[in-house]
Amino acid sequence: MRKWVRNLLKGTSLSTALFIFQACYGMPQGYEDFELEFQVIDGDTKKPIPDAGVMFRQTGDESWMNAGKTDQSGHTDIRVYDIPPLDLKFEAESYQAKDTCITDLSPRTITIEMRKEQ
C-alpha cells in the first residue's frame, strides 16, 4: 500500500512540474501567430457566400481543424502559427468544395472563389 501511495505522489509531482514548466515558458520561442482573413465569393456573380465552412491543417497532417464559418459578407479569419505551408478547405451548400494551399502568411485578405455544383 505504501509503495502504491509513494508512486502516486511521484507521478503527481512530475505532472505538476511539467505543468508549471509549460505555464512559464508556453509556446516554443521563435513561433509567431498570424491572423489570416478570407473573403469567400461566388466565382460567377462575385457575391459573398455566407456560412461557408472553413477547415485547415498543416500540409502533410491527416486531421483537419474546423476554423468556423463565413459571416454574411463572406468574411472569416483564422489564427495560425507560422508553420507554412497550410492546407485550407472551403465548403458551402450547393457549391463545389474548394481546396487551396497557403505558403505566404503575410497579412492580407485572401479571396476564395467557389463555383456552383452542376
Q: Is the pLDDT of residue 63 over 80?
A: yes
Instruction: Kindly indicate the confidence band of residue 60, based on its pLDDT and cuts at 50, 70 and 90.
Output: confident
Kindly report the average pLDDT of the chain as a whole number. 81
- Euclidean distance between CA atoms 15 and 13, whole angstroms: 5
Say if pTM beats, i.e. exceeds, 0.85: no
Domains present along the chain, CATH in parentheses: 33-114 (2.60.40.10)
Average pLDDT for residues 47-55, to the nearest whole number? 95
**106: exposed, middle or buried (C-beta count within 10 Å: 0-12, 13-18, 19+)?**
exposed
Residue type, 11: G
Q: 5-36 pLDDT, tens per residue?
A: 666 555 556 556 555 555 555 555 555 677 88
